[in-house]
């Protein structure tokens, strides 16, 4: 059944609408909200986004309303979310909200302000990793109901711009995506080792302070480094098909990793540190590689450089990893269908198949949704009940 769905985001660090991520590029939290909203609209739901948007508009089927125009929300589903600015939902306390289901959706490891005060029925997290952070670090009541919903990629962004036309992939071209403070130093360490032995290696860098609403600062020039800055995501996804390897060496506890999954979808072989959610997304040696060790150490950089060179020398293995990588990410339509199924189950609007397998953590049953299996007790997500 179609739902009336309202997203409420009080953050004011970036003014945006539904076009912003595709045209300019922004951070993962905002990107995830905009993608889910338009995927839900595609599925026939009535979707509104109340946010720091410059004007009332309808984009991709989603009705965008400026924050200061809304004091009352009436909907079937209300999704409260903050991923920047003050990282707080406290402004929602001043709203009159009438809804059958209230969801608080979090996007990272820092605790969101207002979670003890703002009432909600479920807390949505983008990975099992963040689910564990919520359980062990945030001090929320044990009765908090959790649901894990991965972020999806936009399938259409990876389709050839012109029929029968694909950009040529160069295995000697590496790519780093994201804010430089997450892992650029590690990527540059690997690149310099490879470049010293073979000048065909290049490192292409995407992202900067523009992801958080400021101006990109640029990167000091160096032979083989190509700095692109913050670019729109449609352009980025097309360009990713040109690169051989995506580097995600970091100690930042990544909540999910949209950019990493986009690299996979584009056919880049991802090499990452086992930080945050990465170990639940990367199957080592199948769809990418997890590299142990200090992401800033020369020893780790040398190990990654040797892995890259070995893969280039074995194109059949490269093709195997690339193929499985492209099949790994879930798309936004599947994620929207999973959320829809969860709401049907929570509100009793549709009979949902309960899976007899018992959760390894709490012993409760799973429900099967479009993206996989979700524990009805603690919220643990298992894509294949493996």
- Average pLDDT (90-105) is 97
Q: What is the pLDDT of residue 280?
A: 96
* Domain-located, residue 381: no
Crossing angle of the two packed helices 298-312 and 180-197, in degrees rounded to 10: 60
Instruction: Count other C-beta atoms under 10 Å from residue 164's C-beta.
Output: 5
Q: Which of 131-135, 158-162, 180-184 has the lowest mean pLDDT?
A: 158-162
- Together in a domain, 25 and 129: yes
- Average pLDDT (155-165) is 73
- Average pLDDT (273-290) is 97
pLDDT band at 26 (very low <50, low <70, confident <90, very high): confident
Q: What is the pLDDT of residue 331?
A: 95
Residue with tokens 């499985």: 324
Whether residue 186 has pLDDT greater than 90: yes
- Together in a domain, 176 and 323: yes
Domain boundary among 311, 327, 343: 327
**79 φ, ψ to 5°?**
-115, 115
- Together in a domain, 79 and 164: no
Q: What is the pLDDT of residue 314?
A: 97
Residue 330 vs residue 354, higher pLDDT: 330
* Domain-located, residue 39: yes
Residue 23 vs residue 58, higher pLDDT: 58
- Average pLDDT (138-154) is 95
- Together in a domain, 290 and 304: yes
**59 φ, ψ to 5°?**
-130, 125
Share of the chain above pLDDT 70, in %: 97
- Together in a domain, 301 and 191: yes
Please state the domain count of the chain. Answer: 2
Which residues fall within 8 angstroms of residue 336, CB to CB, at 6 or more apart?
36, 39, 40, 42, 43, 152
Domain boundary among 152, 184, 214: 152
What residue numbers bound the domain in which 264 lies?
156-327
Q: What is the pLDDT of residue 187?
A: 97
Q: Give me the chain's average pLDDT, please.
A: 94
Q: Which of 115-124, 355-364, 369-378 has the lowest mean pLDDT?
A: 355-364
Q: How many residues does the chain have?
A: 386
Q: What is the pLDDT of residue 165?
A: 65
- Together in a domain, 41 and 74: yes
- Average pLDDT (169-180) is 95
Q: What is the pLDDT of residue 78?
A: 98
- Together in a domain, 132 and 172: no
Sign of the four-CA dihedral 260, 264, 265, 268: positive
- Together in a domain, 306 and 162: yes
Q: What is the pLDDT of residue 209?
A: 81
Radius of gyration, CA atoms only, the chain: 21
Whether residue 224 has pLDDT greater than 70: yes
- What confidence tens digit (pLDDT) does each residue in 189-219 have? 999 999 999 999 999 999 988 778 778 888 8
358 DSSP β-pair partners: 365
Q: What is the pLDDT of residue 163?
A: 46
Domain boundary among 295, 327, 359: 327
Which residues fall within 8 angstroms of residue 190, CB to CB, at 6 or more apart?
174, 247, 249, 301, 304, 305, 308
* Domain-located, residue 63: yes
Q: Which of 58-72, 90-104, 159-173, 239-253 has the lowest mean pLDDT?
A: 159-173
* Domain-located, residue 203: yes
Per DSSP bridges, beta strands 365-369 and 354-358 are antiparallel
- Together in a domain, 229 and 96: no
On whether the CB atoms of residues 276 and 253 are closer than 8 A, the answer is yes
* Domain-located, residue 166: yes
pTM across the whole model: 0.95
Q: What is the pLDDT of residue 386?
A: 56
- Together in a domain, 290 and 195: yes
Q: What is the pLDDT of residue 14?
A: 92
Q: What is the dihedral of CA 86, 16, 204, 234, to 10 degrees?
A: 140
Q: Rounded to whole angstroms, how far apart are CA atoms 343 and 341? A: 5
* Domain-located, residue 113: yes
Q: For position 118, which CATH number holds?
A: 3.40.50.2000
* Domain-located, residue 62: yes
- Together in a domain, 183 and 236: yes
* Domain-located, residue 382: no
- Together in a domain, 127 and 176: no
- What confidence tens digit (pLDDT) does each residue in 291-308 have? 999 999 999 999 999 999
């Amino acid at each position: 059944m179609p739902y009336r769905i309202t997203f409420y985001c009080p953050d004011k660090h970036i003014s945006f609408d539904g076009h912003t991520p595709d045209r300019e590029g922004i951070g993962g939290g905002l990107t995830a909200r905009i993608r889910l909203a338009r995927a839900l609209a595609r599925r026939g739901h009535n979707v509104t986004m109340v946010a720091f948007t410059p004007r009332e508009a309808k984009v991709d089927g989603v009705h965008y309303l400026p924050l200061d125009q809304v004091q009352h929300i009436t909907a079937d589903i209300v999704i409260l979310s903050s991923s920047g600015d003050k990282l707080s939902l406290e402004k929602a306390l001043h709203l009159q909200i009438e809804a059958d289901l209230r969801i608080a959706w979090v996007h990272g490891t820092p605790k969101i302000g207002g979670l003890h005060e703002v009432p909600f029925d479920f807390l949505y997290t983008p990975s099992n990793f963040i689910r564990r952070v919520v359980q062990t670090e945030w001090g929320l009541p044990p009765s908090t109901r959790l649901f894990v919903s991965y972020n999806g990629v936009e399938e259409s962004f990876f389709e050839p711009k012109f029929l029968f036309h694909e950009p040529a992939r160069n295995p000697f071209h590496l790519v780093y995506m994201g804010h430089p403070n997450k892992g650029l130093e590690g990527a540059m360490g690997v690149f310099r080792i490879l470049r010293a032995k073979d000048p065909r290696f290049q490192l292409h860098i995407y992202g900067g302070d523009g992801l958080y609403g400021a101006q990109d600062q640029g990167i000091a020039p160096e032979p083989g480094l190509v700095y692109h800055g913050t670019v729109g995501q449609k352009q980025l996804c097309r360009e990713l098909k040109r690169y051989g390897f995506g580097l995600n060496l970091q100690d930042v506890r990544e909540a999910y990793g949209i950019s990493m999954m986009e690299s996979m979808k584009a056919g880049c072989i991802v090499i990452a540190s086992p930080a945050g959610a990465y170990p639940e997304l990367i199957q080592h040696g199948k769809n990418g590689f997890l590299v142990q060790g200090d992401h800033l150490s020369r020893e780790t950089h040398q190990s990654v450089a040797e892995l890259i060179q070995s893969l280039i020398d074995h194109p059949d293995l490269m093709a195997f990893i690339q193929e499985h990588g492209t099949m790994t990410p879930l798309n936004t339509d599947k994620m929207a269908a999973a959320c829809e199924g969860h709401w049907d189950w929570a509100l009793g609007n549709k009979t949902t198949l309960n899976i007899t397998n018992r959760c390894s953590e709490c012993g409760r049953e799973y429900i099967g949704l479009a993206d996989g299996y979700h524990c009805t007790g603690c919220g643990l997500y298992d894509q294949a009940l493996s």
